[in-house]
Amino acid sequence: MSNAQLLIAAIRNISCMALNDASLLVSEWLPDGKRHKNDWIAKNPVRGDRHAGSFSVSLISGKWHDFADNTAKGGDLVGLYAYLKSCTQLQAAQAIDSRLGLGILVKSTQVQRTSKAKQEASIQAAQARKQKEQIMEEHDRQAAKEQAKSQWQHAKLANAQHPYLVNKGVFAHGLRQNKFGALLVPVCYERELVNLQCIDPQGKKRFLSGGQVKGCYSPIGKIEAGKPLYICEGWATGATLYQQTTSAIACALNASNLKEVALAFRARYGESLEIIIAGDDDRKNANNTGKKAANDAALAVGALAIFPEWPSHAPIELSDFNDLAVWQMQQEASA
């Protein structure tokens, strides 16, 4: 086996063995986070998160991702360290090796040979963890689906004067409201209700714990022949687009989900359905995550991508179609 192959094997071995101390390592790297079941939920320091929620790390498999940035994801703790510290995979492996005292990497270019049996044991342990995680994830998804259907069934139609709806300048469009005053946004997968997004009167959002989000959408209106389907991020953005166009809307609920939802609708309806990706324009973000995700989704399904057209004096904090509509209403009211 060549030196390069030994190095790759050692990095993989470190990645597997690091899972035994995943809670310790991740809590040190992301100290502002907290454990939720088998995940560590924290702010993403790379993009200057203001609130925790979209960035999570599995403490079982080491997989990590940021729902708000489809480029921020990885399959192990070595990759996570490299992402957080802006270093190479080798440098990340060296740091973890040193922190845990594993002794697998002796120097930056010298690899301590480990027995084949030990490497195989590490790989088998990682596979077992992955299988366990998949089983637990499926259990959580099923439990959340049942909870979503029960909560939806027992909720009443949303109050048109709910503070969130008033602040966003939109109608309820079939949303429901629970006894605690939170709006319930239906989250569907292949037309079936599988999750809920709960929005409290202050606008704070959360999904049901363990519920499916990837590939899911919240529908507004009905797909009709001769009318396009608009796919956007947030529900309020979708409500604004529906009120402006009367065309069907699929709210993907985050930027990284746009492509998944667009591909699902293209597969279901084929080329006969005109799809328009109505993206966010995150102008304050140097990477403009919203625009990039929208363009990627449009390219994947051969669709048109559109974005808000900002007047020259529009505040830079505004990013989506609802932001623009609310700001324009405020301007008209103060004129």
- Give the pLDDT confidence of 3-42 residue by residue, as tens digits: 777 788 888 889 888 888 888 999 999 998 898 888 899 9
Lowest-confidence pick of 51-60, 236-245, 299-308: 51-60
- Report the half-sphere exposure of 251 (CA within 13 A, side-chain side): 23
CATH of domain 3-114: 3.90.580.10
How far is CA 215 from each of CA 175, 254, 261, rounded to the nearest angstrom? 20, 10, 5
The two three-digit tokens of residue 124, written as one number: 């088998």
Please give the Cα distance from 294 to 255 (Å, whole number).
Answer: 7
By the 8 A CB rule, do 10 and 114 touch? yes
Indicate whether 118 pLDDT > 70: no
Residue span(s) of the chain under CATH 3.40.1360.10 come to 214-335
Alpha helix positions (H), 104-188:
116-154, 163-168
Indicate whether 250 pLDDT > 50: yes
Indicate whether 123 pLDDT > 80: no
Indicate whether 109 pLDDT > 50: no
Lowest-confidence pick of 1-5, 63-67, 204-208: 1-5
pLDDT, residue 10, reads 84
What is the pTM assigned to this prediction?
0.70
Please give the Cα distance from 263 to 302 (Å, whole number).
Answer: 10
Q: Which CATH class is domain 214-335?
A: alpha beta
Instruction: Tell the burial category of 334 from Cβ atoms under 10 Å away from its Cβ (0-12, 13-18, 19+).
Output: exposed
| Residue of 289 and 36 predicted with greater confidence | 289
Residue span(s) of the chain under CATH 3.90.580.10 come to 3-114
Please give the Cα distance from 19 to 123 (Å, whole number).
Answer: 11
The two three-digit tokens of residue 134, written as one number: 């998949």
